[in-house]
Amino acid sequence: MNGLRGMAWLLVFQSIGELLARGLALPLPGPVIGMILLLPALRLPAVRESVSGCADFLLSHLSLLFVPVGVGVMTHLALLNQYGLRMLAVLLLSTLAGLSVTALSLHLLRDRSGAASASSEKDDPHG
């Protein structure tokens, strides 16, 4: 029953996100807005516990969610034969770009926080 409440919470936040995205013509998809709204709501124990139950259920059956993707790939094998190498190249390049941006962001943030903590240690007369 707790898992059903969690699914209801997820659907409520997705629906609110869809309403906001369409009603305000926001550039983000509704489910993304819903997840952003869900994040602070997870501080409430009732939301957190029920969504946790739903997440545990979905994760335990995660392999079933790949069946439609596998069927889709099988039905479009001709396209995969025709564009497979191009798709592989795009996937590899986009993955490398995402990893590079993430690593660079982490590096810059780490350097900035390291410099801030080093300067605060210099300013601290008791340090």
Q: What is the pLDDT along the chain (127 residues), one digit of tens a residue?
A: 778 999 999 999 999 999 999 999 999 999 999 999 999 999 999 999 999 999 999 899 888 888 888 898 889 899 889 998 999 999 999 999 999 999 999 999 888 877 666 666 666 656 5
Token pair, residue 117, equals: 């903590």
pLDDT of the residue at 119:
64
Distance CA 8, CA 14 (A): 10
pLDDT of the residue at 62:
87
**Could you tell me if 30 and 19 are in contact, meaning their C-beta atoms sit under 8 angstroms apart?**
yes
Domain ranges, ordered by start, for the chain = 1-60, 66-127
* Burial annotation 96-110 (CB, 10 A radius, 16+ → b, else e): eeeeeeeeeeeeeee
Dihedral sign of CA atoms 87, 90, 93, 97 in order: negative
Q: Which residues contact 56 (CB under 8 A, 6 or more apart)?
A: 3
Distance CA 127, CA 123 (A): 8
Token pair, residue 38, equals: 């869900």
